Amino acid sequence: MALLDIQQRIAVAEEKAGRPAGSVELIAVSKVQPNERVAEVLRQGHRMFGENRVQEAAGKWPDFRVEFADVQVHLIGPLQTNKVNQALELFDAIHTVDREKLAKKLADAVQKRGACPELFIQVNTGEEPQKAGVVPTEVDAFVKTCRETYGLPIAGLMVIPPVDEEPSLHFALLRKMAERNGLAGLSMGMSSDFERAIALGATHVRVGSAIFGERVASVNK
Ligand SMILES: *Cc1c(COP(=O)(O)O)cnc(C)c1O
C-alpha cells in the first residue's frame, strides 16, 4: 500500500534526523487524481490533502467532507485575488501567499469571516521567472508586511525547488529564511525528495504521485 509505505519512510526519515515521531505532516496531493483513488486513501484513514486549483477542489472536497468531516485540505497552487473568498470556504491552509495584493485581500476576507487558515509564504528560491513566489531578498520585508500591515499570522514558508537543481540547497535556504523570521513551518519536499526535506527540517511534505500513482492527465504540473 503506497500510503503506508510513505508513512513508514517519513517515520524513518524523522528518526534519522533525530526529530520526534509525528513531527512531519503528510499532505497527500490529490490534484488530477480520480475520485476513487482519493476515496481509497480517505478510507485508509488519511485526512490531510493538497490541491493546486481552487476550481478542482471545489468540485471534489465539499462532497468528501460530508462523509469525512475531519478532513483538511491545503491549497498548494497559485491563488488569484478574485478567488480568495471561495478559497477560504474550501481550504484549511494556503501555502502560496506571495504578493501584497493577495495578503491584503486575505486580510480583509479573514476579518469578515473571523477565522484564518494556516498561511505559508511561497518563496521562489531559484528566482525562476516563470515561477510564483517571493524572491529571497524580499522575504523578510514581505513577512513583516503580512504580519504588521495586514495582521496575518504566518505559519511558515513554502518552496518548490527548480527541477534541475539539488533540492537540498533550496531546502536549507528556506530553513535559514524561516529561522531568521521566527517561523516554525516549512512546507517542502515532494515525491522525489521528501526524505531530504525532512532531514533539513520540513514540517509539511507534499507527496502526490508516490501515494496515488502517476497523474493521468497532465493539465496540472
Ligand atoms: C503536484 C505538486 C506536488 C506533488 O508532486 P509529486 O511529485 O507528485 O509528489 C507537491 N507540491 C506542489 C506545489 C505541487 O503542485
Q: How is the chain split into domains, by residue range?
A: 2-212
How would residue 1 be classed by pLDDT, with cut points 50, 70 and 90? low
**How far away, in angstroms, is 167 Cα from ligand 1 center?**
14
pLDDT of 91 strictly over 50: yes
What would be the CATH architecture of the domain defined by 2-212?
Alpha-Beta Barrel (3.20)
- Tell me, using a 6 A CB cutoff, whether residue 121 lines ligand 1: no
Neighbours of 96 (CB within 10 A): 23
**How far away, in angstroms, is 185 Cα from ligand 1 center?**
18
Alpha-carbon span 22 to 40, nearest angstrom = 22
Residue 188, CB half-sphere, CA atoms under 13 Å: how many? 33
> What is the arithmetic mean of pLDDT over 188-194?
98
| Per-residue confidence (pLDDT) for residue 216, from 0 to 100 | 74
User: C-alpha cell of 19?
Assistant: 526529530
- Please write the tens of the pLDDT for every residue from 132-188: 999 999 999 999 999 999 999 999 999 999 999 999 999 999 999 999 999 999 999
**How far away, in angstroms, is 85 Cα from ligand 1 center?**
24
pLDDT of 221 strictly over 50: no
Closest-CA residue, ligand 1 atom 13, reads 76
| Per-residue confidence (pLDDT) for residue 218, from 0 to 100 | 53
Closest-CA residue, ligand 1 atom 7, reads 191
- Please write the tens of the pLDDT for every residue from 98-110: 999 999 999 999 9
> What is the arithmetic mean of pLDDT over 38-64?
98
Q: Is residue 128 within 8 Å of residue 93, measured between CB atoms?
A: no
DSSP-assigned letter for residue 145:
I
Q: Which of 185, 189, 192, 194 is nearest to 153 (CA)?
A: 185
- Tell me, using a 6 A CB cutoff, whether residue 207 lines ligand 1: yes
pLDDT of 117 strictly over 70: yes
How would residue 217 be classed by pLDDT, with cut points 50, 70 and 90? low
